Structure formats: structure tokens, C-alpha cells
Amino acid sequence: MSKIATITLNPAIDLTVRVDQFEPARVNRGQQMQMDAGGKGVNVASFLADYGHATAVTGFLGRDNAAIFEQLFMQKRIEDAFVRLPGQTRTGIKVIDEARQQTTDINMPGLHPSEADVEQLMARIEQLATTCDWFVLAGHLPPGLPTGFYATIIERLKTLGKHIVLDSSQDALRAGAQAGPTILKPNIDELRQLVERPLENEVSIEQGARQLLRDSVRLVVVSMGEQGALFVDKHTTLVAQPLAVKVKSTVGAGDAMVAGLIAGLTEDLSLIECARLATAFSAGTITRIGPHLPERPVLQQYASQVQVRTLLPAPKSRENN
């Protein structure tokens, strides 16, 4: 299996509190509290490690509270190539209402890397490129970095012949998408921002995703929540339906989908089997709190149950006939 690196520029410690029937502006009684090392790229690496893949992580990490991350990396044998910054990694608060299957997020902005920190990060990425074939760029940019920072990394990795997945949002996603990563992973809202038009049904979502298949972008995966996910390449469009499982938290479901997709691609699975495995990863993580997956046999059983169909192209209008 190929070694996979993830880049998390703005990680977070996830403080998750379960409060059934959560009501704002009132005193709420919590049932459970948990702290986990988080951030989209950290989550992806954790899921891949659970599945047995060799992984490495880099990005920016606060020196003062790095222990919770270091413990996770040691436990799962993830190579730690994070650049340490003075101060504390931000904390993100997640209030989970299992009864209503709702999650409320409060996210802080994160640490501000210096020019020297950025130079050190680029050196770490260059070093990881000697052993890793896949790179996942995931999450928001921290304060102080330019909008095109992901694009800069993508352009450098492309010159080194690497496969790149981009899972970000807003202007960083737009600039990064224009740099031509191998795979783009927007949700519906992010896709709508990229194509700048309404996406009212599967056909319009598919057409929007297909707009992004240019330059070296080979695959666009659009997560649609309860409606599943679209997997769009130059030849076909697949719709994977989500599994009916007991939901504890939807946090990290998209990251798990990215991890399952890469796991499938590095194992040379077909697109339909990749879609099944990605959906199985997503289903596996929402049954628990924190960036962890069930055992591999459970995930493979989930994958065998995922329904995938081909979305046929919309019929042409008479004017075009």
C-alpha cells in the first residue's frame, strides 16, 4: 500500500458535549463529554490508520497542548511531521443532540504561523514527498496565510508527480481547485459557491461537478448529507446511498469519506467499489464519537450493503437535437 500524507494547517482539539434536546439561551444538562485530537486532515489520517494504511501528518500544531495529538499519533503509528508553533492549538466545541440528530459547532480561528514556520512546513512537505504518493489537503486556512496557499502546495506537489485531494471551503477551495488537484471533495454548498449557480437536484449537482473536471482534476466527490454522495469522473456519475445506522455524531463523516475513497484508490478498486468503501467509512464513523472507525471486517460488511446506481445524463432538449 502507498503511504498517505495529510496536511492540516488549522487543526483543533474537539471538545464534544452530548446534550439531548439542546436549547439555546437555557441551562442544558450534558450527558457526556469527550476531547479528541481533530482537524480534517488529522481525522483522515486517523481513519486510514484504523484501516491499516501507513500515514503521515503535517501542518501547524500548538506546542503548549500538543500532547493529545502526540498520543493519537503514537497510538495509531502515524508519522508526526507537524511544525510546532508557540501557543495552543485551538479548541472547537461541538454540542451533539443525539435525540434530534443535530450538531452545533463553535470554531475558533487558530494560530498565526510566521514566515519561518511556513518555510519549515514546505520543507516537511518536500521530505514527505520522498515516501508518500498521496497528499490530502484539508480544512480551513489559519489566520495570516494567503488565499492561494493550498494552490501553492498543489502546484509544488504536481511537479513532484503526486496525487492530491483537496477538501476545503470558500476562497481557499476556489483557488486550490483552479490549481488542478487530482480529486476535489466539496459538499453541496461548497460546490454551489464554486460554480456560482443553483443546484436543485441530482442532475444540476452532477452538471456542476462536471464543470470542475478540467486540467488534472480526475474526480469530483460531492457529499450530500442524507442524500448520499455523487462520484463524478470524465466517464460516469455514481450515486452512493447512505446506510441506515445508529447516528451518534456526524462530525468527521466527510473526512471518513475522503479516507475511504483514498483507501479504495490505493488498493486499485473500481470507482463503484471506491464509492461503496467511502460510504462505509462514513457510516462507520457516525456510529461513534471521535476520529475512529470500526474494525475492518465491519467496514467491509458495510461496504457490501451500500447501494450504488449510475446517474444517466439528462436528455438533450429538442433545440439541441
CATH number at 40 reads 3.40.1190.20
Of 55-69, 133-147, 248-262, the one with minimum mean pLDDT is: 248-262
Q: Is residue 156 part of a domain?
A: yes
Residue 255 annotated in active site: yes
User: Could you give the number of structural domains in the chain?
Assistant: 1
Q: Is residue 320 part of a domain?
A: no
- Taking the C-alpha atoms of residue 211 and residue 191, their distance in angstroms, rounded to an integer, is 10
Question: HSE-up of 289 (CA within 13 Å, CB side)?
Answer: 17
Dihedral sign for Cα 256, 259, 263, 264, please: positive
Give the residue-averaged pLDDT of 129-148.
Answer: 95
- Taking the C-alpha atoms of residue 166 and residue 176, their distance in angstroms, rounded to an integer, is 7
> Which residues are within 8 A (CB) of 117 and not within 5 positions of it... i.e. 6 or more apart?
60, 83, 85
3-state class (DSSP) for residue 9: coil
- Taking the C-alpha atoms of residue 305 and residue 144, their distance in angstroms, rounded to an integer, is 45
For residue 290, the one-letter residue type is: G
Q: Is residue 321 part of a domain?
A: no
DSSP state of 99: T
Give the residue-averaged pLDDT of 79-91.
Answer: 96
**Does 314 score more than 60 pLDDT?**
no
Average pLDDT, the chain: 91
Q: Is residue 319 part of a domain?
A: no
3-state class (DSSP) for residue 181: coil
Give the residue among 270, 219, 269 at the shortest CA–CA distance from 51.
269
For residue 29, the one-letter residue type is: R
Q: Is residue 128 part of a domain?
A: yes
The tens digit of pLDDT for each residue in 153-178 reads 999 999 999 999 999 999 999 999 99
Residue 255: which domain range?
3-314
Q: Is residue 284 part of a domain?
A: yes
Q: pLDDT above 90 covers what percent of the chain?
A: 72
**Does 108 score more than 90 pLDDT?**
no
**C-beta neighbour count of 161 within 10 angstroms:** 8
Cβ burial 180-203 (10 Å sphere, 16+ → b, else e)? bbbbbbbbbebbbebbeeebeebe
> What is the chain's alpha carbon radius of gyration, rounded to the nearest angstrom?
19
Q: Which of 14, 36, 117, 255 is catalytic?
A: 255
Give the residue-averaged pLDDT of 231-249.
Answer: 88
Q: Is residue 65 part of a domain?
A: yes
